[in-house]
Amino acid sequence: MSNSTISHEFDVIIVGSGGAGLTLALSLPNHFKIAILAKSHLNDASTYYAQGGVAAVLDKTDSIENHINDTMIAGSHLCELNAVKHTVEGGQASIDFLLSQGVQFTLDEKEQLHLTREGGHSHRRIIHAADATGKAISTKLIERAREHQNIEIFEHYIAIDLITSDKLKIDGPKRAIGLYAFNEATETVHTFLAPFTALACGGAMRAYLHSSNPDIATGDGIAMAFRAGCRVANMEFNQFHPTCLYHPQARSFLITEAMRGEGAYLRLPDGERFMLRFDERAELAPRDVVARAIDFEIKRLGIRYVWLDITHQSADFIQEHFPTLYEHLLTFGIDITQDMIPVVPAAHYTCGGVMVDQHSQTDLLGLYAIGETAYTGLHGANRMASNSLLECFVYGMSAAKHIQMQFKEHTLLPLIPSWDDSQVTHPDEDVVILQNWDELRQTMWNYVGIVRTTKRLERALHRIEMLKNEINEYYQDYKVSKNLIELRNLVMVSEMIVQCALQRKESRGLHFTLDYPDQNQTLERTVLIPPNFQVKKESIHP
């Protein structure tokens, strides 16, 4: 089949099936015709794997001001205050939304929501479902989405590129009118049309050799939006989770920060609690501080991991607070009531992304970005634990309200050309993709990791540009595949990460460079502007 002839029309297309995308879908009216595109299974999203919880001010001893202040400190004051305020003030509504969908959180002895504490938070404000909060949220939201007849779900559909009105020479301001997506089962490309499209497809931390993220985190939304003409910001701030399980049989298994929140210690092989040497908050310091400390000790001592130790707590306490973790680690022969856990930092969260306003709208009319795909201004130079799930729900609901307000003004655009692959052939050697993928991730890990230098970044950029040229040439010559689509996006966002890192001549938050160890007096975001960027009258993030 040389040309795609399968076309779908909707009111809203949502790319991604994590907390952000599902919140948007479930917050829109039932008469909206909605498509959810999932690159893999519906629950194969970062939300599902989130162990910690949702940060929200619910305790009487806490306050909105405290949460805002904690977020600004964790983000090295690079957070945008309006975005922080908007997110934090949406905490109660987010929890109410989740409860209304049937999510069951852990309760305390008074049958109230149990609140725990994580790194960077001055108060207990983490609402959780034991130590598998993401799974509880994802499972329930997926269940609700399947119940809605107005929501059509497309699993194993991989978005390729957005369709914009200017490419079709349609009069009026440039806007997104749909996208092309690859059906992995049939190996055909489908056309999806809608006046509104939302990119909620996660971050880009699969760019690194070691990552806590599921395989879907290849920066698809960020790359597609940039190609379509949207600005991208702060891609240099990549959060490395301090405690990923180090075990030959474990793959990307995260040890929740809530464990340190409940008193776990980080230890060296000789038993020393080394975090006391790096920060007065010790194990409760923000993630960037903890990750750098672990990285420093691993390199100083020539070891492969450090130990996380909660054995000083009672077995009943551990099994009650971390039941999922306890059972899972037993399968690796680790009994956390008696044994310390070997841990190592791993790429975890993309703090930058596609620039959006408080409605989640990008620079392109009709296009929204939510969750880890978006740069809202909330995280600044470092994400504080459990603020990310909160951001998904707040901005998902904000996007739903804005789409409802704008919806009556637009109609679907007809006569969109089908995908044409008549001039390309099936690849003869897929090993090229595998080789480029491995080389890209190794380059990012070695040169663009927790500690950086200008020389390393320049070397990385040179190699990434060569890889990008090879991949783009391959993309032009051969039929698309899931691996090729992901690799094309991943090399693009890797280049963005390095470009932003080279622009920032200071060390702040997650970006630490030996060449510029101090912080600048001025607070500035790094912004990448695509060649086809068009300024709107009401530009976001002035």
The residues that are catalytic are 287
SS3 126: strand
**What single letter denotes the amino acid at residue 262?**
E
SS3 269: coil
Tracing tokens 């149990």 back to the chain, one arrives at 114
Largest Cα–Cα separation, the chain: 70
Identify the DSSP state of 383. Answer: P
Please tell me the distance from the alpha carbon of residue 353 to that of residue 301, in angstroms, as a whole number: 35
Please tell me the distance from the alpha carbon of residue 25 to that of residue 7, in angstroms, as a whole number: 21
Cβ-contact 35, 8 below 8 angstroms: yes
Question: In this structure, what are the phi and psi dihedrals at residue 361, rounded to the nearest 5 degrees?
Answer: -85, 135
* Long-range CB pairs of 72-75, under 8 A, 24+ apart, other chains included: 72/380, 73/120, 73/286, 74/120, 74/286, 74/380, 74/382, 74/383, 74/384, 75/378, 75/379, 75/380, 75/381, 75/382, 75/383, 75/384, 75/509
What order do you get walking across the sheet with 157-164 strand by strand? 7-9, 188-193, 176-183, 157-164
Report the Cα–Cα distance between both ends of the chain, in Å, rounded: 46
The count of residues in the chain is: 542
Tracing tokens 């999203």 back to the chain, one arrives at 45
Please tell me the distance from the alpha carbon of residue 8 to that of residue 192, in angstroms, as a whole number: 5
User: Counting Cβ atoms within 10 Å, is residue 146 exposed (0-12), middle (13-18) or buried (19+)?
Assistant: exposed
CA gyration radius, the chain: 22
